[in-house]
Structure 1
Amino acid sequence: MDVSMSRLVQPFDERGHRLTAIWRKDKREGHFFPAPGRASAPEIMLTLPNILTLSRILAVPLLAALLWWPHWQLGYALAFALYCLMGITDYFDGMLARSSGAVSRLGIFLDPIADKIMIAAVILVLTAKGVFTGPHVGDLHVVAGLIILVREIAVSGLREFLGGLQVSVPVSKLAKWKTTFQLVSLGALILGGALPAMEWIHLSGLVFLWAAAILTLVTGWDYLRVGLRHMD
Structure 2
Amino acid sequence: MTWNIPNILTVLRLLAAPGVAVMFLYFHRPWADWLALTLFIGAAVTDWFDGYLARLWKQESKFGAMLDPIADKAMVLIAIMVITGYSGMNPWLILPATLIFFREVCVSGLREYLGSRAGQLKVTRLAKWKTTAQMVAIAVLFLGTGLEYLEGIRMQGMTPEQYAEAVSAGLADPVRTCGGKDCATYATNIGLVLIWVAAVLTLVTGWDYFRKALPFLKDH
Q: How does the TM-score come out when normalised to structure 1?
A: 0.71
Query: What is the match of residue 132 of structure 2?
Result: 180
Rounded to whole Å, the distance in 1 between the matches of 2:55 and 2:199 is 30
1:88 — aligned with what?
45
- Look up the SS of the partner of 1:102 in the other structure: coil
1:208 to 1:82, Cα distance in 2 relative to 1, 3 A: same
Residue by residue over 1:3-39, the C-alpha shift from the partner in whole angstroms, topping out at 9 and shown as x without a partner, is: xxxxxxxxxxxxxxxxxxxxxxxxxxxxxxxxxxxxx
Q: 1:207 corresponds to which letter in structure 2?
A: V
- The 3 A distance-change label for structure 1 pair 206 and 86 is same
Change (3 A) 1:203 1:53: same
- Aligned match of 1:159: 111
Distance 1:184 1:169 in 2: 26
Paired amino acid for 1:202: T
1:128-165 CA-partner distances (Å, limit 9, x unpaired): 333552xxxxx242011011011011112223344544
Distance 1:88 1:170 in 2: 22
Task: Confirm or deny that 1:47 pairs with 2:4.
Answer: yes
Alignment partner of 2:95 out of 118, 122, 143:
143
The CA deviation string for residues 89-134 of structure 1, in whole angstroms up to 9 with x for no partner, is 222111221111111211111111111111111111222333552x
Where do 1:75-114 residues align within 5 Å?
75-114=32-71
Task: Note the 1:32-71 alignment, pairs <5 A.
Answer: 44=2, 46-67=3-24
Q: Is contact 1:71–1:193 with CA below 8 Å preserved after alignment?
A: no
CA distance in structure 2 between the aligned counterparts of 1:175 and 1:56, rounded to whole angstroms? 19
Contact 2:127 2:202 in 1 (8 A): yes
The higher-RCO structure (CA 8 Å, 6+ apart) is 2
Offset at residue 170 of structure 1 (A): 3.5
Contact 1:48–1:93, Cα closer than 8 Å, also in 2: yes
8 Å CA contact 1:64–1:125 kept in 2: the answer is yes
Q: Which amino acid aligns with 2:58?
A: G
Match of 2:192 among 201, 206, 210: 206
The alpha-carbon deviation at position 167 of structure 1 amounts to 7.0
**Identity rate, percent:** 42
- Which runs of no fewer than 5 residues in structure 2 stay unpaired? 149-181
Q: 1:131 to 1:83 in 2, by over 3 A?
A: farther
Q: CA RMSD in A?
A: 2.4
Structure 1 unpaired stretches of 5+: 1-40, 134-138
> What is aligned with 1:219?
205
SS in 2 for 1:230: helix
More helix by percentage: 2
Q: 1:130 to 1:123 in 2, by over 3 A?
A: same
Cα distance between partner residues in 2 of 1:123 and 1:227: 27
Q: What's 2:170 paired with?
A: none
Alpha carbons of structure 1 residues 113 and 165: separation in structure 2 relative to 1, 3 Å: closer
Aligned counterparts, 1:116-127, within 5 A: 116-127=73-84
| 8 A contact 2:7–2:64 mirrored in 1 | yes
Task: Give the whole-Å Cα distance in 2 for the aligned partners of 1:226 and 1:187.
Answer: 31
